[in-house]
A and B are shown apart, each in its own frame.
Chain A
């Protein structure tokens, strides 16, 4: 056991000390924060730029007084001739428009908008909205309907979705958010299984091509070396996740306070709110996340990541032992990662849309697919017995694959220059020792 610990320690420290590890660990959260800040500023900028100046030439005469300037748009009633306005428009800044309302506007419902540069879509929408309102009011008046009472009518509808739990209580459900979380988990687990599994394979190929392998297995059993490597790299993965979570939380909270504390952005925060990106909604997201048991999800993520990682890295280890170079390895990595790829692709459609259907349920029990499939389902609420069964299957699965892989591994690491095929691997598997 002591020797396995030594191997784990070496595998772990030699990777954690690498520059590339530090780089990815610190750059990835920075990248996310940079994106977050970038999106914030771009949104802010787009709001600033969308403020439009509209000169109004009203041939009908009545409409121009009903148009109301707001923070997105400023109407200026023109007092010069139409031709002159068109001439002067050419020299104006961008986002300056000329709105021409014909005298038969209430019948034709047509206006013309001339712009310096391309007309802005939000400006168009704003103008259309206001003109519609004007027409509606005119029509209502014509029909003798009291406009004020119409405006008092409230037709807002809110669907509040609740699901019935086993205890019979109704609790708030947040399908969209569950979907988002599920898909994020699916991506995360898929990428990390691949990333760290491939690292195991690369480590073994390195030992083989360095020829250090024979020196080491004259001191330890091949199985000890394989397990030590897998566990060591798994710990590297967990360390990286942990650092990512901590760094992202720290940096994003720092960034948020910085952004929201600026006085100049208070007004902006208001405008974002209207745009549907505001703080209240983010609170709502937090609320929803709580409703899907963040703690439970996190624990499941780590359990299924570990299970899936052990299962797949054992397979990757067997492949690494069988080949002499990484290019040669691709013919084997393709088939063994097929189930993973399939579930990954399915997770965006079938699994998310029908998380309790038979396909999803079966996939979440099969060890090769359950790390992704089960995690996709968990945000939608999965009974505990299913999670437990799936985990048990996964554990049995990884014990079997590790056993099988170690049988191939101990033969493979001593084979040089032999082109391995699946037939060959099966033969190795049946070698006595």
Chain B
């Protein structure tokens, strides 16, 4: 959907983006991650053609990014707002017409969304009469009403209560299923794991990590397993020295034992289990996969140090 190649953006006293290249697959939910001030917003503004890069190219659906593509992008900025004195209906009409919809289709689509989100009665309300969370809902509708192929959401859940977060998250996933590509910029890692297919991690103007979530996690798997078991022999097999694994953590529980081990390189889990089975009864074996949160923290701090 989007190919970003060697983007550089220089401001007078700092470099916001330093040779960033990314590929956003069509139909994916793409997580754009990074700490504050990493350059996420700069990149998003360039994709939206609000600012232009100093060098580098962006291809939208195979074509070089052009002003006409604006109408196929829906953008929910982190700094968002609406005209306070304008009625909600008129406001959405205005914003969707600016995105190239005709008046009649705009009315139709806004009605559709109002029904879907059960806010039909808001048409004639003014923004200043709505709560923050309600305004966010309206803002979300404004972002997606023109059925964009690419939806860019910058911290879409800030200001929502858990219930509305759930609703909006569902809507995002549904839009994605219907074919929209979504770029989701955030630092809420738990939602990344839930929603994203691929991610890119930006820190200090540079991309430090990208790819499908599954691959990244695989890359960060470090052969660590948690085993729940019961002793079946007298020998304390974990206290005998072995080249197969090292114990990371051990907890003695009533009857069931809980242990975390790290398997040595070039050793498979099966070999370890074969070694252990004569001595214990295995209840459960769990692979410990690092969370995106851990990967994020790990990468960002590694770079800082």
Contact = CB atoms under 8 A, between A and B. Distances in A.
A214 B95 contact: no
Contact of A212 (B48, B54, B83, B97): B83
B159 interface: no
B85 A218 contact: no
A10 B82 contact: no
Contact of A210 (B12, B49, B82, B99): B82
A292 B12 CA distance: 56
B50 interface: yes
The interface size bin for chain A is 20 to 34
B203 to A, nearest CB: 22
Interface string A184-224: 00000000000000000000001100111011111111000
A68 interface: no
Contacts of B98: 3, 6-7, 216, 219-220
A210 B75 CA distance: 17
B166 interface: no
B21 to A, nearest CB: 21
Determine chain B's interface SS by DSSP, over half rule: loop
Contacts of A207: 83
Nearest to B77: A214
Given A6-B94, A10-B94, A14-B86, A219 B79 contact: no
B293 interface: no
B250 interface: no
A215 B83 contact: no
B81 interface: yes
A118 interface: no
Interface in A238-279: none
B85 A14 contact: yes
B77 A215 contact: yes
Contact of B80 (A14, A214, A217): A214
Interface in B215-261: none
B79 A214 contact: yes
Nearest to A220: B98
A171 interface: no
Contact of A211 (B48, B81, B97, B99): B81
Contacts of A211: 77, 79-81
Give the interface residue-count category, chain B.
20 to 34
A83 B73 CA distance: 102
Contact of B99 (A219, A427, A433): A219
A210 B81 contact: yes
A416 B79 contact: yes
B196 interface: no
Contacts of A71: none
Contacts of A220: 98
B52 A218 contact: no
Contact of A215 (B49, B51, B71, B80): B80
A217 B50 contact: yes
Given A14-B86, A214-B79, A219-B98, A427 B12 contact: yes
Interface string B124-141: 000000000000000100
B195 interface: no
> By CB atoms of chain A within 10 A, which of B73, B98, B99 has the most?
B98
A414 interface: yes
Q: Which of A7, A206, A216, A217 has most B Cβ within 10 Å?
A: A217
A210 B77 contact: no
Contacts of B49: 218
A427 B52 CA distance: 17
Interface of A: 3, 6-7, 10, 14, 206-207, 210-212, 214-221, 414, 416, 427, 432-433
Report, nearest first, the 7 A-B pairs whose CB atoms are least far apart.
A211-B81, A210-B81, A219-B98, A214-B77, A218-B75, A433-B52, A218-B48
15 contacts: A206-B83, A207-B83, A210-B84, A211-B80, A212-B82, A214-B50, A215-B77, A215-B142, A216-B98, A219-B70, A414-B45, A432-B52, A432-B54, A433-B51, A433-B52
